[in-house]
Structure 1
Amino acid sequence: MVRIIDRFAFEVQLVAQDAAGTAAAAPAGDGGSGDFLSPFLLPAGLLFLFYFIVIAPERRRKADEAKLMAAIKKNDRVVTIGGIHAIVAAVSADSDIITLRIDENGNTRIKVNRSAISRIVTDKDSSGKENQTDSTKDDG
């Protein structure tokens, strides 16, 4: 594997020097300047790709989730990770517990962790779903 990488580095050096109009370089095994860098190019490239494909999007997702958790306020319509649709009855900025009102009368309340909230339902989301269910009822 090392010989293949050395050979590839040697050929890249040849192409670069031919393009510049200089004489051909010595093989990489003869103590050329590419001996030290060539084994580190592939792992460095893989780490670079791994960062931008895996780590950076995960950081962005966690930051968006933190903004969502910080933006929860009283009377927001939310959906929990268990699929419960509810309205926020009480929320404290310093507490990790949120009280949700489940029924329309406001008598049934549950306390959940802030991390159990999956999403905040906006008016656009709820009205679009109601319109879809109404149109399917008319067709049937």
Structure 2
Amino acid sequence: MGEIWVATKALILYNKRALIIQRSNYCGVGENEWEFAGGGLKFGEDLLDGLSREILEEVGLTVRIDRLLYAISRLVNPQRQIIGLTYLCYANTDKVILSNEHRNFLWATREQLEKMLTKPMLDDLTINSVLEQLDII
């Protein structure tokens, strides 16, 4: 029998740019790919509490969580399904402190997002008209 894993992610904005972070080989999955901050929920954890915890752990930021942007369901292998919830968040600083899970960060423009994010992430943004809704330069 398979498992379902719930993850929360944050599209964090600061000065009309979005924070993306580049994975290290920390866990051997998605090495060098660019993504939004966030991760898996712990059992019994509230969605927004889990998101806040993951953001603080991965990029050292405390953010204001605004709203849910979109949800996805993806079968990553025959035994594992991921439910992903991506929230719009706002930072009050651009001072990022990366954990060992990531090797680099960028406060990206829309053009950089379109160039650096994976195709599935771009498809999620496009299907949900996210970039059209946000004020990203």
Structure with the higher fraction of residues in helix conformation = 1
Larger Rg: 1
Bigger relative CO (Cα 8 Å, ≥ 6 apart): 2
**Shared topology, TM-score over 0.5?**
no
- TM-score, length-normalised on structure 1? 0.22
Which is strand-richer, 1 or 2?
2
